[in-house]
A and B are shown apart, each in its own frame.
Chain A
Amino acid sequence: MRGRPAPLVAFERPALAETARQLWSLGLGSLPIATLALAFFGVVLEKHAALQAQRALLDLDRIGPMFMKLLVREFAPIMAGSVLAARLGSATGAELAWMDASEQLDALSLYGARIGREVYLPRLLAGILGTLLVGVVGVLAASLAAGGFAQLTGTGRLSAFVSPRLVDGKDLALFWAKLGLDGASLPLAAFLAARRHGRGPRGIARAASTAVVWGVLCVLVWDILLGLAFA
């Protein structure tokens, strides 16, 4: 891939079938693990919040709104981003490096297909849509799990964890911004990793691991920068 023009040389219409395939494979494929991770995280967070609140003799009904705010602003984007950095980053990094090593990208260019339209844009679009989807489902999973756990253990009511009125417009703007930027950064990190390390089995493995590392770094950087901007 070295010596190729930059992946996104022009704005083109992405190939829809390939976008759908990527969204299915990466976005929907990441839902089970992301949902499970965030549900587990919600339960643990609620348990510890309830313990601390009981010690401080606070009203347990205040945990729900605080939990939801924290989840939407901080934990859901960073956890969804991290899960996708691992899954989408490694899969896309390795796939692109393999496509380069097996000369599939050359074949595309040789037969008149636009690589940006057929390869890069579908993955970029699927990355953004998939991350948004995983983030939203993750919030639902975490709040339902935390609310359900609170209801079961008598430390709160389910409704205190799942009401959309618990978050304001600024919280939601931060949530969408973080997820959107994470979703765009992860495929881009994978494209760059594949460009840097492509060719040969070793290059493919290194592209996959580098894509994960760069993806996680992107998620952390966006989290800090947007956190400061929306403080």
Chain B
Amino acid sequence: MTPALEIAGLDMSFGGRRVLDDVAISVGFGEVVYVIGRSGAGKSVLARLALGLLTPDRGEIRISGRPLDRRSPGALRRSRSGASLVLQGAALLDWLTLEENVALPLRHRRRLSRGAAAARARELLAGVGLAELAFALPGRVSAGARQRAGVARALALEPDALVLDEPTSGLDPQAVRQIDDLVRAVARRGTGVLVVSHDMRSLRRVADRLVFLRDGRVRFAGKLAELGPGLDDELDRFLAE
């Protein structure tokens, strides 16, 4: 079966330093795959590559079987229409309300009218428990609420694949649990979810599979049940957390 997101043979270097080396990851529909690794392991670069925000030195990315086409901005926009990314810290636009932020992709990518986009945005915000904060500016709500609004914005396009970059970073335990529940709920609807994180508690709660990156290479890829001591000393340290 075609995966929701497929990354194959990905190489990426910055200033002569190899950040990702022959990375391959596949995320099935309805599956949650966590990518873990130390800071600087190339996790966030991977998330940005997956949605075409960066161009790899080599390798291919497919969203629902369609390759990411970087020949022009228009081709890129079209070819990644089946995927969304929640950037680190949610990256909501400061000057727009949560509702306007969530309406953004609906207006620009779906070409909905202002009113229709706003109505759908309110539904999406209600879906992540933020109905009462629809008209608040991002700076006026908690980090957890911002993150959930970021997920709502990403879900506005009903993506086949959703990539989240450090979604629980800096959140309190209650907010972390809300995000974890949200990720699970998104996967239950059939969306393939790739989470880039180093939060082991969330991983144990949510992940179906795990990919461990070290020095830009995949050192382990498999189910949590397959994990055991002795695979990699750094992975052992992660697991001990």
Contact = CB atoms under 8 A, between A and B. Distances in A.
Contacts of B51: 110
Contacts of A106: 48, 53, 87, 91
B94 A104 contact: yes
B105 A112 contact: yes
Contacts of A113: 104, 108
A107 B105 CA distance: 10
Contacts of B92: 104, 107
Interface of B: 48, 51, 53, 73, 77, 84-85, 87-89, 91-95, 104-105, 108-109, 153, 157
Given A104-B93, A112-B105, 20 more contacts: A98-B94, A99-B94, A102-B94, A103-B88, A103-B89, A104-B91, A106-B87, A106-B91, A107-B91, A107-B92, A107-B104, A107-B153, A108-B104, A109-B53, A110-B51, A110-B84, A111-B104, A112-B77, A112-B108, A112-B109
20 contacts: A18-B95, A21-B95, A102-B91, A102-B94, A103-B91, A104-B91, A106-B48, A106-B87, A107-B87, A108-B93, A108-B104, A109-B53, A110-B51, A110-B84, A110-B87, A111-B104, A111-B108, A112-B105, A113-B104, A113-B108
A110 B85 contact: yes
Nearest to A21: B95
B108 to A, nearest CB: 4
Q: How would you classify the secondary structure of chain A's contact residues: helix, strand, loop or mixed?
A: helix
Interface of A: 5, 18, 21, 98-99, 102-104, 106-113
B153 A111 contact: yes
A119 B77 CA distance: 19
Contacts of B53: 106, 109-110
A140 B225 CA distance: 77
A103 B95 CA distance: 14
